[in-house]
DNA sequence: CATGAATGAGACTTCATTCAT
DNA sequence: TATGAATGAAGTCTCATTCAT
């Protein structure tokens, strides 16, 4: 039932946008009574939150698969592949991602979205720590934080303004360069 | 009157957030009749839009002052100062900026906010074009686009998660590094 | 509930007129929440429309009873009785009928009222067709149309200006004469 | 000024209908300040009333011209011409007439419209009185009243449902027959 | 007289939520 | 547990009218 409701909410969000995503509409699309919605979700916001979380889980799952192979790739390859994985993940449900990003009122909900993105921070930080010797950074914690913000910012822009670019390799190159040269500013690198 | 209304909207936005920012409340805080609100603004959204635009103008004005002195600074200094100006601009009304970023329903309004930020694109692009010989970039247009996204992303994160960092020099260093090394990946740079 | 709402609307219409017939007032008089009004009627107009339709049904039902006995009366009697039935029907709720006629904004609603009256046209036409041999008319379709207009016009005038006359036989005689002599202009008739 | 305002109201009524006929819109179309409207008319209703009255005057004026020649025509001709004059009068501003009839809320305003039509009553009555010897009627007062109602009813129907018929002679024949045979039920008449 | 900015009561309508069945 | 009719607070917006200039 929870699944049915989250599914229905996603569908409504996609088809009609956040404004038109009323609890009654969700119940209708789910083929369930409105009462049942409140049996499983305390309020409207939690419905949307659940959609976000499920979406985020899917993104992560998609990335994990892609990244598991990178165990001992070199730095440049690792970054390149990781960003590729992120871009690919965006392609899973770009329209949903965009609606979530654009239309959902942030208080509460978007906050949560950022928290979800924040989950990456420790992972990235740990990774930076591990490769510290190859990197020109002094504060892995801040570096991770800055990188996540920067990549998130570019991804958000793509989604909102140039969704078509998700299909191109273009962005992956640029992001790789952004990240790599930030991490190794003094290193002369061969062009990828 | 327009001024009074925009002012009142800003105040309500700051004090009560977007959800509680109703037209009646704005009128009340402005000390005018609700009718007067609709004499000058066609609907609620346009009120918030006006706040955004005024805010953006203030940001830009603040930056222009700060940047006018950079006419013939060297590349590294120019980037450093430009980012310093942006960070300082954020300090003007960080809470307003945050509310705008976090709570305003995006379709329509946030779209406009991005458009406003998009104004920078041609400027940045032109600047990159001008300094092309010193830069290791091949496509100034995409580079400008990526940089704006990245910086925007980091700034948004600061505002939402670490507003205190706006006061520190920390961020400026990191952003400078992010931008500079992206622009000149192969150049050995002295530590700033 | 639908019944309760139509009933309440009728009451408000009668007591306060169309202008004062607001959805909130109807809900209040019906003793229900305003939300319930919109659960069953899409908007204000449809409420009034429902009143009209119910009223019209009542008129027709009243007439049907009265007319069922006329199956094989002679022409003059048939016309006389039919008009009597119409006049009597008006007496059912003359004040409601008047409010509907006088105050309801016509576009949409009054249009519908005329449509409802237009239902008579085919019946009258068929009847004229049936008795064609006794009548001096060449175009039953136009004749029906003219007669309905004429009778409607007189009835409207009675309602608005001389509601008292509904109680007298006076009008029935005059209308009968109007209709009969129109249908049989060349026939010498004994005074009814 | 009064003239300008009545003119503007007429224009708005025709172009946008009664609902959209707001006082501010009238002022705008008249090229005058809203304040000036209230200098000459106490409220919105009186504006519409003035339009009605001017329209009615025009109808009457048109009819007077047409009827002045009938001084000593025979009965049948007189009726025929009079109805022709009425039909022709409707052609003056059929759309305005229709808006007035259909859309204007009657309380107050439509009442007045009927009063204006009621002006005919004494005239018709007097005329019936004059020709009493040729007519088979006993109560000229009621007869006049009924005839006006009947003709009004047919005219209203034409306007609303078959405005095209105003151009045909068809209606004039039928109305003439309606009126004449009502007035002279026992008289064998040659077909007009 | 003319102006038109300002007024504000109040209309219609939505939608998250409850609760008796 | 599921239902869904009922709720009603609250929101946006309109427009006839006023009154100081």
Domain ranges of chain D: 1-41, 51-183
Report the distance separating Cα C127 and Cα C142, nearest Å: 13
Q: What integer is the mean pLDDT of A42-62? A: 88
Report the distance separating Cα A153 and Cα A167, nearest Å: 18
pLDDT at C192: 42
pLDDT-derived band at D97, boundaries 50, 70, 90? confident
Report the distance separating Cα D43 and Cα B152, nearest Å: 56
Instruction: For chain D, give the mean pLDDT.
Output: 85
- Are A102 and B106 contacting, i.e. CB atoms less than 8 angstroms apart? yes
Q: How many CB atoms lie within 10 A of CB B19?
A: 10
Whether D185 sits inside 8 A of C189 (CB atoms) is: yes
Closest nucleotide over all strands to A46 (CA to C1') = E16
Report the distance separating Cα C187 and Cα C166, nearest Å: 29
Q: How many CB pairs under 8 A join C and D?
A: 115
Report the distance separating Cα A178 and Cα A83, nearest Å: 11
Whether pLDDT at A172 is above 90: yes
D140-147 long-range contacts, Cβ below 8 Å, gap at least 24? D142/C170, D142/C174, D143/C174, D143/D182, D143/D183, D144/D120, D145/C157, D145/D121, D146/C154, D146/C171, D146/C174, D146/C175, D146/C178, D146/D182, D147/D179, D147/D182
The nucleotides of chain E lying under 7 Å from a protein CB are 1-20
Q: Which two tokens stand for residue C51?
A: 């009143």
Closest nucleotide over all strands to D20 (CA to C1') = F15
| Residue of B19, B107, B142 lying closest to A102 (CB–CB) | B107
pLDDT tens per residue, range B43-61: 998 999 899 889 888 888 8
Q: Give the DSSP H or E segment for D62.
A: helix D44-67
- The architecture CATH gives domain B52-183: Orthogonal Bundle (1.10)
Q: What integer is the mean pLDDT of A26-31? A: 94
pLDDT at A107: 55
Which of A92-96, A117-121, D20-24 is modeled with the greatest confidence?
D20-24
D45 Cα to chain C: minimum distance (Å): 13
Q: Which residue reads 């109201």 in tokens?
A: D9
Distances in Å between the Cα of B23 and the Cα atoms of B34, B42, B93, D135, D180 are: 7, 11, 22, 70, 65
DSSP reduced 3-state for A21: coil
pLDDT-derived band at D104, boundaries 50, 70, 90? confident
User: Which of B3-17, C69-83, D28-42 is predicted least confidently?
Assistant: C69-83
Whether B143 sits inside 8 A of A170 (CB atoms) is: no
Q: What integer is the mean pLDDT of C7-29? A: 91
Distances in Å between the Cα of B34 and the Cα atoms of B41, B47, B57 are: 11, 13, 27
- Are C37 and C16 contacting, i.e. CB atoms less than 8 angstroms apart? no
Q: List all residues 6 or more positions away from C119 whose beta carbon is below 8 Å from its beta carbon.
A: none
pLDDT at C106: 60
pLDDT at B189: 46
Q: Which two tokens stand for residue B106?
A: 């995006």
Which of B107-111, B125-129, C29-33 is modeled with the greatest confidence?
C29-33
pLDDT at C124: 83
Q: What integer is the mean pLDDT of A133-146? A: 90
Å between CA of B40 and C1' of E5: 11
Å between CA of D99 and C1' of F20: 38
Q: What integer is the mean pLDDT of D149-175? A: 89
pLDDT-derived band at C186, boundaries 50, 70, 90? low
Q: Which residue reads 């136009």 in tokens?
A: C142
Instruction: For chain A, give the mean pLDDT.
Output: 85
Whether B107 sits inside 8 A of A103 (CB atoms) is: yes
Å between CA of D96 and C1' of E3: 30
pLDDT tens per residue, range B92-102: 888 898 888 77
Whether pLDDT at A34 is above 80: yes
The nucleotides of chain F lying under 7 Å from a protein CB are 1-20
Å between CA of D35 and C1' of F21: 13
Comparing alpha-carbon positions, the chain D residue that sits nearest to C186 is D188
Q: Which two tokens stand for residue B132?
A: 């092309």
- Are D146 and C174 contacting, i.e. CB atoms less than 8 angstroms apart? yes
Residues around strand F, C-beta < 7 Å: A 1, 32-36, 38-39; B 20, 22-24, 34-35, 38, 43-44; C 1, 32-36, 38-40; D 19-24, 34-35, 37-38, 43-44
pLDDT at C168: 84
Query: B174 or A58: which carries more pLDDT confidence?
Result: B174
Q: What integer is the mean pLDDT of C121-141? A: 86
pLDDT-derived band at C121, boundaries 50, 70, 90? confident
- The CA dihedral of A71, A72, A74, A80, to the nearest 10 degrees, is -20
Report the distance separating Cα C150 and Cα D177, nearest Å: 12
pLDDT at C180: 93
Give the neighbours of chain D: at least 3 Cβ pairs within 8 Å.
C
pLDDT-derived band at C107, boundaries 50, 70, 90? low
Q: Where are the beta strands (DSSP E) in chain B?
A: none
Whether pLDDT at C133 is above 90: no
Which residue's alpha carbon is at the shortest distance from the C1' of F19?
D35
Å between CA of B9 and C1' of F15: 24
pLDDT at B174: 94
pLDDT at C191: 43
Q: What integer is the mean pLDDT of B108-115? A: 65
Q: Mutation target for B interface from A108, A115, A185: give the one with most B CBs within 10 A.
A: A185
- The architecture CATH gives domain A1-41: Orthogonal Bundle (1.10)
C66: buried, middle or exposed (CB in 10 Å: 19+, 13-18, 0-12)? middle
pLDDT-derived band at D92, boundaries 50, 70, 90? confident
pLDDT-derived band at A14, boundaries 50, 70, 90? very high
Whether pLDDT at D76 is above 60: yes
- The topology under which CATH files domain D51-183 is Tetracycline Repressor; domain 2 (1.10.357)
pLDDT at B24: 94
Percent of chain C surpassing pLDDT 70: 89
């Amino acid at each position: 039932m929870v699944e049915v409701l989250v599914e229905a909410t996603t569908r409504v969000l996609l088809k009609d946008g956040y404004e038109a995503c009323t609890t009654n509409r969700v119940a209708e699309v789910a083929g369930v009574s409105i009462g049942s919605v409140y049996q499983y979700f305390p309020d409207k916001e939690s419905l949307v939150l659940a959609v976000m979380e499920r979406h985020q889980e899917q993104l992560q799952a998609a990335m994990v698969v892609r990244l598991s192979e990178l165990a001992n790739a070199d730095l440049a390859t690792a970054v390149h592949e990781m960003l590729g994985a992120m871009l690919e993940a965006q392609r899973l449900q770009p329209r949903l991602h965009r609606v979530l990003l654009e239309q959902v009122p942030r208080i509460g909900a978007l906050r949560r979205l950022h928290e979800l993105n924040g989950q990456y921070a420790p992972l990235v930080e740990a990774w930076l720590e591990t490769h510290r010797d190859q990197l020109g950074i002094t504060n892995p914690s801040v570096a991770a934080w800055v990188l996540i913000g920067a990549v998130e910012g570019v991804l958000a822009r793509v989604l909102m303004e140039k969704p078509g670019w998700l299909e191109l390799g273009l962005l992956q190159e640029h992001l790789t360069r952004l990240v790599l040269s930030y991490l190794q500013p003094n290193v002369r690198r061969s062009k990828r």
